Every structure is written in structure tokens, then in C-alpha cells.
Amino acid sequence: MEILLISLIVGFISIDTIKVGQFMFSRPIIVGSIVGWILGDFYTGLKIGVILELFWIRVIPVGTYYPPDTVITTALAITLTLYFPGANIPESFCIILSLMVSIPFGIIYKSFQIRERKMASRYNTLLSDSINKGDFNFINKLVFISVGREFMFSFLAFIISFKLIFLFFSSVQKYLFYFIENPFMVKGAKEAFELLPLIGITQLIDSFIKKR
């Protein structure tokens, strides 16, 4: 039920990215807090949300630019971290691995959404014809169709992605424990995790420098 609830929330919040409102509810720090709260670990959700927010501080859907799907990426990273197969796995290792597999999915889904926007351009002729005929209700119908498609895409994309990744992790669980039990790998994951906020802060500082 939790995964289904998160999928519904991902679907609704993804609409805020471009389709409706753009109130910034789709930012990683907000998505992370909500998903973490639902899964009973608000702190971890907020922590991952802050890291991804710093990573993508300059990624804003303005004009024709379509950013990576930060909603699905953030929700996947947090859910995988908290649902990671196996016990006694260091949190830093879980977060690093979850981010490694979640970020590419956000980039992949970006390409699908760009393709969907290109396909939507075919509605321009239909809109022009409906306006010439005085059928302004057709505009409202297209808006609802577009919003509904965005919701269903994000809803299904999250469920499918989570199931595929979780099944993959479960199938290679014994190999993962080989790395987890290796002190060198555990130390490396911990140090890499500690560096993530610093990388994000450099992005933030760089954005201020370029604005000047």
C-alpha cells in the first residue's frame, strides 16, 4: 500500500513540474520530505532530498528546457534506500547505491517526456480548427488530457522502475553482501556519501558566481 500511495503522490506532484501551477512542489527537497514521512523516516527522506536539491539547484523547467525527472528520481532513491533488501546494511552504502541507480532513471524519463511534448505538437492543428469553429471547450479537454497523461506516466513509471530495481537488487543480494562485508568498500561508501553535500554546495556557489 505504501508503494501505491507513493506512486499516486509522484503522479500528482509531477504535474507541478510543468503542466499545472509550477509551485515548486516538485523540487527534490519537498518530494524527499513527503516520501520519507510516508515511509516513516522523515529525516532520511529530507537528507536525500537536500542532496538532490543541491545537485539540481540550477535545474529549473523554464521555456523549452525540460529537466531530468527529479520527482521520480527522488522518490526512487528514498524508497530504495528504506526498502533495501537485506538487513544490517550501512545507510551510506544504501544511499549511494540508490542514487546511482535512480539518477539515470530520471534522465531516461526526461527523454520520454521530451518525445511526448513533441508528439503533443500535433494538437496545434486541432486547436486551430476548434477555435475557428468556435469550439472553445476543446481547449479544456486537451488540457485535462495532457494533465492526465502526465499523471499516468509518472504513476506507472515509478511503480515499474521500483519493481525492476528491487527485483534486480534481490537477485544479486548475495553479491552485494560481498561488497558490504568488505571494510574498504564500506569506508569508501561512507566517504563518498560525506562528499555528496560538498559537491552540491559547489554547484550552488557556482550558480551564484555565474549570475554575477
55-100 pLDDT tens trace: 877 766 665 666 778 888 999 999 988 887 555 677 777 888 888 8
Domain count within the chain: 1
Residue 16 one-letter amino acid = D
Residue 187 in any domain: the answer is: yes
Residue 44 in any domain: the answer is: yes
Residue 140 in any domain: the answer is: no
Residue 73 in any domain: the answer is: yes
Distances (CA, A) of 183 to 24, 86, 93, 94: 40, 18, 12, 15
With residues binned 3-state (H G I as helix, E B as strand, rest as coil), the percentages for the chain, rounded to 5, are 75, 0, 25
Instruction: Return d(Cα 33, Cα 212) in angstroms, integer.
Output: 32
Residue 151 in any domain: the answer is: yes
Residue 139 in any domain: the answer is: no
- Asked if the model's pLDDT at residue 39 lies above 80, the reply is yes
What does pLDDT average to over the chain? 78
Query: Cell 530495481 sits at which residue?
Result: 165
Q: What is the pLDDT of residue 107?
A: 83
Residue 121 in any domain: the answer is: no
Q: What is the pLDDT of residue 91?
A: 76
Q: What is the pLDDT of residue 34?
A: 92
Q: Which three cell numbers stand for residue 62?
A: 523554464
Query: Cell 534486480 sits at which residue?
Result: 168
Residue 116 in any domain: the answer is: no
Q: What is the pLDDT of residue 210?
A: 60
Instruction: Return d(Cα 19, Cα 55) in angstroms, integer.
Output: 23
- Asked if the model's pLDDT at residue 211 lies above 60, the reply is no
Instruction: Return d(Cα 34, Cα 140) in angstroms, integer.
Output: 30
Residue span of the structural domain in which 183 resides? 2-109+147-211
